[in-house]
């Protein structure tokens, strides 16, 4: 086993969070075995579980543990039990706080379709062939964080972006595009919005000056929302601001067929990242052992690649997952006779073990 220990904070959270988090732990233990890695996994509280135990959704011990770690792996937070809580004691507040505390300004959502899953998407299968796009969403600026006010007759949410905020997320998109096919589509509303015009100016300058091997084209958000459904395979890296990214990433998730298949990463400029499935705590199926663990396992792969610098291991895990899809090893959100969370997890583990000698010898 390697001397270097990768420090990971585990945040199981609520609902199906702990169930899919357990799948991630299984995979990490198999990766330790097959690839000689050393993961130090420390579990901490977040969300409703943290509110119940400590009175707050993000306790100081959780923040401190994350400060010492390379990455954090989150299950999901929330549930009806805490719906009536005041804003500062709601589980989702823990998530917003951790993003703010660690300056996680860059949200990545890969959207990759697989032939074995085409039938589960509402989009025509012929449009899904070859879809492999990465949405890079700015996560800590724009109208979600701008000044807000309201009186009896009006309300306002200020959308503000600084040059520095646009530069840093554009650099992240530039690095990602370099590792892919080198094409960025900047999505905005520059025909109407001043912030969009600033985005265009700054993003084009950063790419021109720092990423000469990357191309950047512009697309209005209304057109992008259409093209994502009519010709999704044409996108490579889609870079956009917070609100547009929120909406477009949920729209794009429909290309894959189930929320249970979509991973995400939220990164800062120092390689620390929060990795989590896109889905929530699914209270309707919690405790039944039927949650789809693939989104979580793909989030583990993203963590290996983006925070731990283990691209070969990330690739091996992704290949094992895809092999299981090809064999029809799916959970009940996708097929009525589907497998349980543990069965799917064990199938991926078995694949990973089987594939490893071939990879090592390659």
Catalytically active residues are 144, 189, 222, 246, 250
- Say whether residue 343 binds ligand NAD (CB under 6 A): no
3-state secondary structure at position 187: strand
Give CA angle at 261 (256, 350), nearest 5°. Answer: 125
CB-based contact 74:39 (threshold 8 Å): no
Select the residue interacting with ligand NAD from 23, 140, 268, 292 (CB under 6 A): 292
Size of the chain in residues: 362
- Say whether residue 285 binds ligand NAD (CB under 6 A): yes
Q: Which is nearer to ligand NAD, 65 or 330 (CB)?
A: 330
Q: How far apart are CA 279 and CA 295, in angstroms?
A: 8
**How many CB atoms are closer than 10 A to CB 355?**
17
Show the binding pattern over residues 16-45: x = contacts ligand NAD (CB under 6 A), - = does not: x-----------------------------
Q: How far apart are CA 292 and CA 338, in angstroms?
A: 10
CB-based contact 31:317 (threshold 8 Å): yes
233 burial class (0-12, 13-18, 19+ CB within 10 angstroms)?
middle
Q: Which is nearer to ligand NAD, 126 or 284 (CB)?
A: 284
Binding residues among 70-89 for ligand NAD as defined by CB under 6 A: 76-79
Query: Quick one: the chain helix, strand, coil %, rounded to 5?
Result: 50, 20, 35
The minimum distance between CB 260 and ligand NAD, in angstroms, equals 3
- Say whether residue 98 binds ligand NAD (CB under 6 A): no
Size of the site for ligand NAD (CB under 6 A): 21
- Say whether residue 276 binds ligand NAD (CB under 6 A): yes
Select the residue interacting with ligand NAD from 18, 257, 263, 280 (CB under 6 A): 280
Q: Which is nearer to ligand NAD, 170 or 345 (CB)?
A: 345
- Say whether residue 337 binds ligand NAD (CB under 6 A): no
Q: Which is nearer to ligand NAD, 113 or 258 (CB)?
A: 258
* Eight-state DSSP code of residue 347: H
Give CA angle at 71 (35, 251), nearest 5°. Answer: 100
3-state secondary structure at position 159: coil
Q: How far does Cα 328 stand from its chain's mean position?
A: 24
Q: Which is nearer to ligand NAD, 17 or 174 (CB)?
A: 17
Show the binding pattern over residues 293-312: x = contacts ligand NAD (CB under 6 A), - = does not: --x-----------------
- Say whether residue 259 binds ligand NAD (CB under 6 A): yes
Q: Point out which residues bind ligand NAD (CB under 6 A).
A: 16, 76-79, 92, 95, 259-260, 276, 279-285, 291-292, 295, 333
């Amino acid at each position: 086993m390697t001397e270097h220990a990768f420090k990971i904070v585990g945040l199981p959270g609520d609902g199906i969070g702990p169930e899919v988090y357990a799948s991630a732990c299984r995979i990490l233990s198999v990766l330790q075995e097959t690839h000689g890695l050393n993961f130090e996994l420390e579990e901490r509280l977040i969300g409703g579980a943290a509110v119940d135990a400590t009175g707050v959704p993000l306790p100081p011990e959780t923040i401190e543990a994350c400060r010492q770690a390379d990455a954090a792996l989150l299950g999901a937070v929330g549930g009806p039990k805490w719906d009536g809580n005041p804003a500062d004691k709601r589980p989702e507040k823990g998530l917003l706080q951790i993003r703010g505390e660690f300056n996680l300004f860059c949200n990545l959502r890969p959207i990759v379709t697989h032939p074995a899953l085409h039938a589960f998407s509402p989009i025509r299968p012929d449009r899904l062939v070859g879809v492999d796009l990465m949405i890079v969403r700015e996560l800590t600026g724009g109208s979600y964080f701008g000044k807000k006010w309201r009186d009896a007759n009006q309300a306002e949410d200020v959308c503000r972006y600084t040059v520095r905020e646009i530069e840093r997320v554009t650099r992240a998109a530039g690095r990602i595009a370099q590792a892919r096919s080198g094409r960025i589509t900047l999505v905005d509303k520059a025909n109407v919005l001043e912030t969009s015009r600033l985005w265009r100016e700054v993003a084009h300058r950063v790419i021109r000056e720092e990423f000469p091997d990357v191309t950047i084209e512009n697309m209005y958000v209304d057109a992008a929302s259409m093209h994502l459904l009519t010709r999704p395979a044409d996108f490579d890296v889609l870079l956009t601001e917070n609100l547009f990214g929120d909406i477009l990433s949920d729209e794009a998730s429909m290309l894959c067929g189930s929320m249970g298949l979509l991973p995400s990463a939220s990164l800062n400029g120092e390689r620390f990242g929060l990795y989590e499935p896109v889905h929530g705590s699914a209270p309707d199926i919690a405790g039944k052992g039927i949650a789809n663990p693939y989104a979580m396992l793909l989030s583990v792969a993203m963590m290996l690649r983006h925070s731990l610098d283990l691209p070969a291991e990330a690739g091996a895990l992704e290949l094992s997952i895809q092999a299981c899809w090809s064999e029809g090893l799916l959970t009940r959100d996708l097929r009525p006779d589907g497998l349980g969370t543990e069965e799917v997890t064990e199938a991926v583990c078995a694949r990973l073990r089987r594939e490893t000698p071939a990879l090592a010898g390659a």
